[in-house]
Amino acid sequence: MEKRPLDVAILSDLHLGTYGCKAKEVLNYLKSIAPQMLILNGDIIDGWQFSRHYFPASHMAVVKEILCMMGKGTRVIYITGNHDEIMRRYCDIQLGNFQLTDKVVIEINHKMTWIFHGDVFDNTTRGAAKFWAKLGSSGYGFLILLNRLINRMMKIIGRDRVSLSKSVMASVNKAVTRINDFEMTAAEIAIEKQYDYVICGHIHQPQKRVVETERGKVMYLNSGDWVEHMTSLEFYQNDWHIYQYDEKEFAGTRHETSTPAINVITDEVNFYVSSLAV
């Protein structure tokens, strides 16, 4: 498959290290694109549910592909989320083509885009509520396993697949959005800062819409997730687009997912300057 050239690709909420992660689909997608810049907008590796007993080869293959993209010149910016918050203590590290941060602003064609995960607006990820959020995350992982078992049975009897996890996540997100007014809060701050675009992840809801207030307007975008929706954001032809994964496009695609043997050859780091200003 010929790689699609992109200016920027944004993925969030992969949740590597969990049963819900669609690692094979993520790998297919990454191998199909050639972006100048790849932004990983939080919850890439799920530290809340991470276990040394579950990190299969397909998940490691995703990490390996990202490293390969860096080696071929793609600038990778990793923005931390709540599930990988342990990495926030190391923010503002930059090594060669790799940058770790908690937010970033990029300028494309004189338009400013503010990008961050979005959990800062979610009260359920802080304080005493954080315990229940983590407990709910574990329950969500169990629901994924149960859903897979149900779908195997549905396939045997010739019925369509069902998605319990999507229904639960949708209902939860409606409540969270109503309480925290997530999108409007992000948009209002972006308008105040005079940004043209604001991009979040976190709530697993792909979105592209104009938010207008008395003080101005801004384009709000959300990259969705790779647990249920399998979506990303792509910038090309001078605009942002929501990408929706279609398994038919990758029918018959197979990748080697064995765990690679890694040897340190040198500590030399080459610095790459992207044509996109950050």
Rounded Cα–Cα distance for residues 94 and 97 (Å): 8
Give pLDDT, residue 235: 97
Extents of the domains making up the chain: 4-250
> What CATH number does the domain located at 4-250 have?
3.60.21.10
More confident residue, 276 or 226: 226
Q: Report the mean per-residue pLDDT for the chain.
A: 81
pLDDT band at 181 (very low <50, low <70, confident <90, very high): confident
Handedness of CA 10, 224, 83, 142 (dihedral sign): negative
Rounded Cα–Cα distance for residues 44 and 46 (Å): 6
Q: Give the global pTM.
A: 0.74
- What residue type is assigned to position 251 of the chain? A
